[in-house]
Amino acid sequence: MSRSLHAGWLIAFGVLVYSAPLSEASPSAAPPPIQGSAVDQPRNEKPIVLESEAAPAPPAANVVTASLGDPARALAAVSPEPFGLPSSAAPAGGFSAKWTELQARLRAEQDVLAACRSGQGACPKAARDFLHIVDAGRQRQGRAQLGEINRAINLSIRPVSDIAQYGVDDYWSAPIATLSAGGGDCEDYAIAKYVALQQAGLPADDIRLVIVRDVKHQVNHAVVAVHQDGEWLILDNRTFVMVDADEASDYDPLFVLDYRGVRAF
């Protein structure tokens, strides 16, 4: 075979080899996926979040609102009732009937207090004592005002059961009558504080008389709750210390009473 014929045959063979498809042997082709989450995602590593998948940063306006306070959000955060629970109208009878009966006695005492302040008409000592408590509270502000009235009422009444004092299981007394008698049970303390706080100028929407269940002693109990600086403070005849209603873990709220009537938790 001549040298030129041999060279031509080699060239032709090379063209046939290099013209074959590359997809079967090319190193750039992707291998089949390997099954198993242990390989796909190491257990000890957090998923990689692409920048496009990350949550967008809050706008500047939201940052300012968060730092300065959002009035609408703050208003929504205020509990409509003490203990952070919703309430609905209580059925007739029971506490509703007692609260209604008490209103007539409270209105009668309001006339007595008005006469005392105007200087016209008789002013019983118990009425003067009650107005002294109210006026002392007026001299203070905020928690100091609440503490002053809570302490003064607690010291002005000695604990006496309704059976011992009135011969009945449960009687709700108005403040002047309670101070005149010198004694009363838990709801008499609470009623006196409720009226004194109103007389001292606190908004009616910020004051509640609350009937709770004392789970520690397994008895019902009456306290006053006052909304102050975003929390409901409990004024209790058992202590001079005022605590947030959310921290009164021994008390389960049953009923809430105010100028709108009686509601059940």
- To the nearest whole number, what is the mean pLDDT of the chain? 79
CATH for 145: 3.10.620.30
pLDDT at 19 over 60: no
Question: Which of 210, 220, 235 lies closest to 84, judged by CA?
Answer: 210
Residue 43 lies in a domain: no
Tens digit of pLDDT for each residue in 143-167?
999 999 999 999 999 999 999 999 9
Tens digit of pLDDT for each residue in 37-82?
333 333 443 333 333 333 333 333 332 222 334 433 433 444 589 9
Report d(CA 108, CA 249) in Å as an integer: 37
Instruction: Please state the domain count of the chain.
Output: 1
Residue 164 lies in a domain: yes
Distances (CA, A) of 240 to 147, 149, 150, 243: 7, 10, 7, 10
Range of the domain at 158: 90-264
pTM for the whole structure: 0.71
Residue 212 lies in a domain: yes
Q: For position 120, what pLDDT does the model report?
A: 87
